[in-house]
Chain A
Amino acid sequence: RKEVEQDPGPFNVPEGATVAFNCTYSNSASQSFFWYRQDCRKEPKLLMSVYSSGNEDGRFTAQLNRASQYISLLIRDSKLSDSATYLCVVNIGVGGGNKLTFGTGTQLKVEL
């Protein structure tokens, strides 16, 4: 089983749609969680951290369910510029060397 699993997509949605991505992680000792965005042939860029209480940043909402080891990202009012691959990322913490483990990413294509 992969440490971080995501549906690779692609998700093709019309502009203005709401789209949700899910991610599961296998290590219950994981301590911090992130969503990164990666554009084609570019480095990943931090989109937002994910907290158990849920957090929102503009059109983006992230949620963490530690009991189910499940992370989600909701994008409202999709823009063409949201087209990218969204990477679910987990950090096990100091005990694991503070290393980031990446999912394979979910590809989003927003269309006119």
Chain B
Amino acid sequence: GAVVSQHPSWVICKSGTSVKIECRSLDFQATTMFWYRQFPKQSLMLMATSNEGSKATYEQGVEKDKFLINHASLTLSTLTVTSAHPEDSSFYICSARPPPGLAPNEQFFGPGTRLTVL
């Protein structure tokens, strides 16, 4: 299957700092990427849909000014958690959807980034 990478794999930061997470599709161009968050023993929750060249679409309850998404190229989307607080500690996972005609409706997931805010 297609490969999606995320960087970093894990990060520990102090409260109040900002953290940037990168998501890359390595072998296909992704016009759409998704950002999820998963708290322990809970389901993956979609945070936002990232569209190349346009603004991200955020799910209800997700603060767009706190979780900044940039999808500047067809292979890279970034999520920046601004002024992180301990309650933002979570497992952040991105996924990428291949172009139409390839694996319709499927998404390929990155390995995730574990964020711990002290």
Contact = CB atoms under 8 A, between A and B. Distances in A.
Contacts of A31: 105
B43 A100 contact: no
Interface in A19-77: 31-32, 34, 41-46, 49
Interface stretch (B13-21, B69-77, B82-90, B106-114): B106-114
A104 B91 contact: no
A7 to B, nearest CB: 13
Contacts of A93: 105
A93 B41 CA distance: 27
Given A41-B114, A97-B57, A46 B1 contact: yes
Contact of A104 (B34, B42, B95, B111): B42
B109 A45 contact: yes
B43 A104 contact: yes
A42 B112 contact: yes
Interface in A55-112: 87, 91, 93, 97-105
B46 A99 contact: yes
A44 B1 contact: no
Nearest to A93: B105
A42 B111 contact: yes
Interface of B: 1, 32, 34, 41-46, 49, 57, 91, 93, 95, 97, 105-107, 109-112, 114
Given A49-B106, A97-B57, 8 more contacts: A97-B49, A98-B105, A99-B34, A100-B34, A100-B107, A101-B46, A103-B43, A104-B43
